Structure 1
């Protein structure tokens, strides 16, 4: 049994698909692939995503140990930085294979 976002799945592929299929998750992971970003930077990079939705998706990814939120207090203010965990970095390899497969097997009308 696999638990993703408080839903139980029998199949690990279905559980992962559920996560990656959530709006903005793929874009968030892709933006964080090679850098650490603060919330505002991430929001500017994920164009069209509301603060509330970004916050919800970041919480989901933190809960599933895919990203980390590193908080530091500097002069009475909290600086929050998001970045991929080892698990999140390994997920990028899966996403790259999904991109290759899609490019080869799904037609894209431009």
Structure 2
């Protein structure tokens, strides 16, 4: 199997939500509810899954503290912070191309159902890759 830096990086930070989660955590630690509010449209179940995946992949750390109540806070690890140039480049690119991007998005509104299906296929593909990796680890 040929090593592909882009493919491997996308295995860790690809998908609809992970880059946005990284962006939200760039400047501060956040609790689950804060993260959910900052990510317009994400479900609690999807956020929970993404956070677990990112914690497993050493991109973020989950800190549970008990002050008066149980508080769970998420923050980037040093490895997670190494994505800062990627996130900032996307912000810069998105800002520079705002008009073009908005036009494309507005033209694609009618295709939103197919976009959802494409994202679902990609999620299933990522799940299949993870399953194969787990199976390989068990064989070793």
Shorter-chain TM range is 0.7 to 0.9
Q: 1:82 aligns with which of 74, 78, 88?
A: 74
> How far has the Cα of 1:50 moved from its partner?
0.2
Give the total of aligned pairs.
Answer: 100
User: How does the TM-score come out when normalised to structure 2?
Assistant: 0.62
- The 1:72/1:50 distance shift into structure 2, 3 A limit, reads same
Pick closer, same or farther for the CA change 1:81–1:15 going to 2, 3 Å: same
CA distance in structure 2 between the aligned counterparts of 1:10 and 1:50, rounded to whole angstroms: 34
Which structure features the higher share of strand residues?
Answer: 1
Over alpha carbons, which structure has the higher Rg? 2
Aligned ranges for residues 1-110 of structure 1 at < 5 Å?
Answer: 10-75=3-68, 77-100=69-92, 103=96, 107-110=100-103
In the alignment, structure 1 segments of 5+ residues that lack a partner are 2-8
Root-mean-square deviation over aligned CA pairs: 2.2
Higher helix proportion, which one? 2
2:59 and 2:29 map into 1 onto residues whose CA distance is 13
Distance change >3 Å, CA 101–CA 66, structure 1 → 2: same
Structure 2: gaps spanning 5 or more residues: 104-140
